Amino acid sequence: MVFRCVIMLISCLMGVPTVYAQAPAVRELPKSVNLWEVGGMFREPSAAAWDHRRGCIYVANVNGRVMEKDGNGFISRVRPNGSVEKTLWVQGLNAPRGMAVVGDALYVADIDTLAVVAISSARVVNRIPAVGAAELTGVTGGDKGEVFVSDRSAGLIYKLENGALLPWISSSALMKPVSLVMSGGELVVACEGNKKRRGRLLFISVEKKRILRASAPMGPLFGLAADGKQHLFTLRGGSDDLLKIGPDGQSEKLRTLVPGAGLICCMAARNTVVIPHMKQNRLSAIGIGHKERFRMRGN
């Protein structure tokens, strides 16, 4: 036990991912395996986004209070095997949350603005205010290059059009929309809900600009990711369950996480879900349907 603690401490300080037979941050359940876990350099990691074109993971770090404009927020860049490429890849944000890669830019929800990061230079090149925004959380790119952003507190979804972030759809069904993703040509929204109405998934037609259907009540939902095969992954608060939802709408519990997980992403071709652990300042990867864990090659 002492030897393992020493190894974990060295790994954290060097930014090297630790591979566990059983990772301490999760309780193993069937149908998913721990791949890697890394920490020591993150500060309240709130969200992860996968860039399949460049083969890297972006990690949003609040580094302070989630609604405070202090300029302390930053984004880290991590390799698919969990090794940290650059901790302070982008700096000067406030409280970055959801992110999405669209073209050559990384769009970041930052309280009441949408920060635009030029990936080639790792610089914030634009900050687009959202009219009447209260708490921007989720970001996703559409099939035609659109950018959609959810406002958890205001209960609406914005769309970036002609350089302006404008209200796109508002509905009483949007009970605290935390995260959103495109799947099967539809915009899927994970809602936290409230005490009277439990959270659920909403499926929105982008073309018709209306809610087509809703899932059964599932409890407070937070992170949401898609694998490109019409499977969705979401985090259920309270029980801290990682759920997989199939094309038929049926959900299955993959595992239980420690409390405090943030907005997740999916490395689709690798069948891997990446989870930021905001309270533990760590990032972990879980393989879905993997027969065995892979070993990593150094840093």
Summarize pLDDT for 153-203 with one digit per residue, the tens: 999 999 999 999 999 999 999 999 999 999 989 999 999 999 889 999 999
Question: How far, in Å, CA of 70 to CA of 47, rounded?
Answer: 18
289 pLDDT exceeds 70? yes
Instruction: Output the pLDDT for position 18.
Output: 52
Burial 39-69 (b: 16+ CB within 10 A, else e): bbbbbbbbbbbbbeeeebbbbbbbbbebeee
Count the Cβ atoms, other than its own, within 10 Å of residue 299.
Answer: 13
4 pLDDT exceeds 90? no
Instruction: Output the pLDDT for position 31.
Output: 77
- What is the percent of the chain with per-residue pLDDT over 90, rounded to a whole number? 79
Order of strands, edge to edge, in the sheet holding 123-129? 96-102, 105-110, 113-118, 123-129
Instruction: Output the pLDDT for position 16.
Output: 55
Q: What is the band of 143 on the pLDDT scale with cuts at 50, 70, 90?
A: confident
Instruction: Output the pLDDT for position 291.
Output: 52
Region 21-28 average pLDDT:
37
Beta strands 56-61 and 73-78: pairing type? antiparallel
pTM: predicted TM-score of the whole model, two decimal places: 0.88
Q: For the chain, list the domains and their CATH numbers.
A: 32-288 (2.120.10.30)
> How do residues 195-224 score in pLDDT, each as one tens digit?
889 999 999 999 999 999 999 999 999 999
